[in-house]
């Protein structure tokens, strides 16, 4: 059983770390830049007229990814935390620190899933409303909400990186020896 717990712990951490890294740096940014650059081409195949329309198209594309991204993060975080609890009673501060770090990272993932991402998605739609007052108000609120979501995601990434480093010190068994 200790081998299974350790394996699940490492797999969940690896998937969590990899997904946040890949999405943040190798998916979201390139998609946004690609659509913005496409919009700057007068003969673009999507008929985008300006960079703002490119940003909007990128947001629509990324919105479908967010629907899977945050639930996946929370699932990986839950497995990592549950398996880390097996080492809570192991002597040493390292194992308690691992649980606390993972609990914080999971909490941030849940906040993004249940609070920030839905708000950002709602504001993303409203910022393109035909009512210019609603659009202007939503555009201003979007920037702040998106910044909070991004900071939450990057803090989660940092905590998961630390948890992955701490995985080098996993005990040999699931219980204190």
Residues 6+ apart with CB under 8 A from 55: 32, 35, 36, 39
Distance CA 173, CA 177 (A): 7
106-118: pLDDT as tens digits: 999 999 999 999 9
pLDDT band with cut points at 50, 70 and 90 for residue 175: very low
Asked if the model's pLDDT at residue 9 lies above 60, the reply is yes
Which one, of 152, 110, 113, 153, lies nearest residue 20 by Cα?
153
SS (H, E, C) the chain: CHHHHHHHHHHHHHHHHHHHHHHHHHHHHHHHHHHHHHHCCCCCCCCCCCHHHHHHHHHHHHHHHHHHHHHHHHHHHHHHHHHHHHHCCCCCHHHHHHHHHHHHHHHHHHHHHHHHHHHHHHHHHHCCCCCHHHHHHHHHHHHHHHHHHHHHHHHHHHHHHHHHHHHHHCCCCCCCC
Task: Kindly state the average pLDDT of the residues 40-69.
Answer: 89
For all residues of the chain together, what is the average pLDDT?
A: 92
Residue 47's pLDDT band, with cuts at 50, 70 and 90, is confident
Ramachandran angles phi, psi of 44, nearest 5°:
-65, 145
Whether the CB-CB separation of 122 and 134 falls below 8 Å is answered with: no
What would the mean pLDDT of 56-77 be, rounded to a whole number?
93
On the question of pLDDT at 174 being above 60, the answer is no
Give the global pTM: 0.88
Residues 123-134, mean pLDDT to the nearest whole number = 92
């Amino acid at each position: 059983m200790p081998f299974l717990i350790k394996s699940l712990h490492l797999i969940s951490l690896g998937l969590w770390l990899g997904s946040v890294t890949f999405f943040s740096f190798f998916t979201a940014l390139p998609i946004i830049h690609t659509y913005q650059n496409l919009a700057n081409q007068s003969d673009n195949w999507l008929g985008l007229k300006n960079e703002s329309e490119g940003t909007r198209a990128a947001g629509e594309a990324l919105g479908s990814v967010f629907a899977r991204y945050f639930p996946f993060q929370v699932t990986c975080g839950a497995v990592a935390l549950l398996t880390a609890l097996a080492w809570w009673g192991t002597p040493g501060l390292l194992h308690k620190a691992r649980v606390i770090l993972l609990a914080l990272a999971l909490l941030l993932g849940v906040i993004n899933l249940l609070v920030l991402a839905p708000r950002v998605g709602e504001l993303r739609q409203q910022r393109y409303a035909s009512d210019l007052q609603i659009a202007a108000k939503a555009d201003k609120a979007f920037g702040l909400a998106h910044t909070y979501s991004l900071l939450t995601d990057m803090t989660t990434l940092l905590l998961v990186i630390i948890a992955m480093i701490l995985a080098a010190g996993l005990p040999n068994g699931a219980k204190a020896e």
